């Protein structure tokens, strides 16, 4: 039924919905039931409806809706973004396999690859997403998959995604991409040939900073493998959280439109401010991959990072002087959030390690919410005036 809607705004509301409506309820009820009556002819454990098996009506509707949003064959929700990433990797890799992964990926992903995969007998190498010529030399006969991100955190770098797909197809690798930052509104990996798209649904998909959730979207055979793996690992999403994700998802297109518009305005303001040294935002022409972003994305997203003309103390002062964004990690909610990655997401690294990744201790990351851009800009102006 999902394929019958042409536009993503309509799919968000109608794809995957159960008809006829359950007891006439316009909104999908929460099936707060861990187990379901066995139906006649139910074949095997994985066919029995049970909340951990991610097959309640709340799961089914989300799966169809998310697949429709990315024009993909199938989808699966998980208990967190990390559950999506770890489950997908463990579904496509087995002992003896080798993974190519984007250097500078999200810290939790980096930690899972470096600390956990070796215990499963999986080896890895990190790649420079913007230097495809260097990838071939890292290939091994046992390389099975390549994992990248659509947009990196916190530098907003965009890897050479078209070449990633071509490289994966040429060498028979499964291609995986963390598509959390753009959301399906701005980028749909399946349309460009990626096998699996992964999300921290905690962020834009849900959009209200009130749940932790994840999603795996892509090729039906791989999503099925991930589903069986998730059944065993147990990182499924509770139906109450499914409902909150479903409710948040309904406004994804209007939220993303505002995130895109607001972030562009804030980025332009920062780029023209004398106290600001550098702004990282793919929508600015000064961004090194601006043309790539234009070609691949339908919007440039709500995330910005920037450097001020000043030291770490001055950056800390800006973060404490702003009044609208809350100083907190995470991103993608309706409310603006601000953080210094050196003190949050990348605090586990030494200043030298951060510097090698291009992340200075004075870098500020701003998750631009859906407030009025004018108010966000006035707030930033008063904070920058204090340094
Ligand atoms: N991927 C990206 C790009 C993230 O920013 C995050 C969390 O910040 C994750 C994955 C992990 O998601 P979760 O916290 O929902 O497990």
Domain locations along the chain: 2-249, 253-384
Question: What residues contact residue 292 under an 8 Å CB cut-off, 6+ apart?
Answer: 158, 160, 161
304-355, pLDDT tens digit by residue?
Answer: 999 999 999 999 999 999 999 999 999 999 999 999 998 888 887 788 878 8
What is the CA 290 to chain-centroid distance, rounded? 20
- Residues having CB closer than 6 A to ligand 1 are 80-82, 106, 108, 153, 178, 180, 200, 202, 212, 214, 330
| Angle at alpha carbon of residue 134, lines to 132 and 136, rounded to 5° | 90
Taking a C-beta distance cutoff of 8 angstroms, is the pair 92, 218 a contact?
no
| Protein residue closest via CA to atom 14 of ligand 1 | 81
Most informative mutation of 202, 210, 213, 348 for ligand 1 (most atoms within 8 A of CB): 202
Which range has the worst mean pLDDT, 38-47, 139-148, 279-288?
38-47
Which residue in the list 178, 195, 238, 379 is annotated as catalytic? 178
pLDDT tier for residue 42 given thresholds of 50, 70 and 90: low
Residue 330 Cα to ligand 1 middle (Å): 8
| Protein residue closest via CA to atom 12 of ligand 1 | 81
| Angle at alpha carbon of residue 151, lines to 147 and 154, rounded to 5° | 110
Is 277 catalytic? The answer is no
How high is the pLDDT of residue 175? 99
How high is the pLDDT of residue 1? 46
122-136, pLDDT tens digit by residue?
Answer: 999 999 999 999 999
Residue 332 Cα to ligand 1 middle (Å): 10
Is 203 catalytic? The answer is yes
Residue 206 Cα to ligand 1 middle (Å): 13
Q: Does residue 46 surpass a pLDDT of 80?
A: no
Is 45 catalytic? The answer is no
Is 258 catalytic? The answer is no
How high is the pLDDT of residue 2? 44
Q: Does residue 45 surpass a pLDDT of 90?
A: no
How high is the pLDDT of residue 51? 97
How high is the pLDDT of residue 3? 53
Top-tier CATH class for 2-249: alpha beta
Q: Does residue 64 surpass a pLDDT of 80?
A: yes
Residue 203 CA: nearest ligand 1 atom is 15
Mean pLDDT of 194-216: 98
Residue 202 CA: nearest ligand 1 atom is 15
Which residue in the list 11, 188, 203, 255 is annotated as catalytic? 203
Residue 210 Cα to ligand 1 middle (Å): 14
Would 2-249 and 253-384 be classified into the same CATH topology? no
pLDDT tier for residue 357 given thresholds of 50, 70 and 90: confident
How high is the pLDDT of residue 181? 98
How high is the pLDDT of residue 47? 76
Mean pLDDT of 24-42: 90
Topology (CATH level 3) of domain 253-384: 3.90.1150
How high is the pLDDT of residue 188? 98
Residue 236 Cα to ligand 1 middle (Å): 16
Mean pLDDT of 236-259: 98
């Amino acid at each position: 039924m999902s394929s019958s809607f042409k536009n993503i705004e309509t799919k968000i509301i109608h794809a995957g919905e159960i008809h006829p409506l359950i007891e006439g309820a316009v909104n999908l009820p929460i099936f707060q039931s861990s187990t379901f009556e066995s139906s006649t002819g139910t074949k095997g454990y994985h066919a029995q409806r049970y909340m951990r098996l991610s097959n309640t009506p709340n799961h089914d509707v989300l799966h169809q809706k998310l697949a429709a949003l990315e024009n993909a064959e199938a989808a699966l929700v998980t208990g967190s973004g990390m559950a999506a990433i770890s489950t997908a990797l463990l579904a496509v890799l087995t002992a003896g396999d080798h993974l190519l992964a984007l250097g500078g990926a999200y810290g939790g992903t980096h930690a899972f690859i470096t600390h956990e995969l070796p215990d499963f007998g999986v080896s890895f190498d990190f790649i420079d997403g913007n230097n495809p010529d260097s990838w071939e030399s890292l290939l091994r006969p046992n390389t099975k998959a390549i994992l990248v991100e659509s947009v990196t955190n916190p530098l907003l770098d965009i890897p050479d995604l078209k070449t990633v797909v071509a490289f994966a197809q040429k060498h028979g690798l499964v291609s995986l991409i963390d598509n959390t930052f753009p959301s399906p509104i701005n980028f749909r990996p399946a349309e460009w040939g990626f096998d699996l798209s992964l999300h921290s649904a905690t962020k834009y998909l849900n959009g209200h900073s009130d749940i932790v959730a994840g999603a795996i979207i892509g090729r039906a055979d791989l999503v099925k493998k991930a589903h069986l793996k998730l059944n065993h690992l147990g990182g499924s999403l509770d139906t109450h959280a499914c409902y909150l994700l479903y409710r948040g998802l309904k406004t994804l297109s209007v939220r993303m439109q505002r995130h895109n518009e607001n972030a562009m305005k804030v980025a332009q303001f920062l780029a023209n401010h004398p106290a600001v040294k550098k702004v990282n935002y793919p929508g600015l022409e000064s961004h090194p991959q601006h043309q790539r972003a234009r070609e691949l994305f339908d919007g440039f997203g709500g995330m910005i990072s920037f450097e001020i003309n000043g030291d770490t103390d001055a950056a800390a002062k800006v973060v404490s002087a702003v009044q609208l964004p809350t100083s907190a990690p995470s991103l993608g909610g309706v409310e603006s959030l601000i953080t210094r990655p050196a003190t949050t997401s990348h605090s586990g690294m030494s200043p030298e390690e951060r510097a090698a990744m291009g992340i200075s201790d004075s870098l500020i990351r701003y998750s631009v919410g859906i407030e009025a851009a004018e108010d966000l800009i006035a707030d930033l102006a008063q904070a920058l005036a204090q340094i």
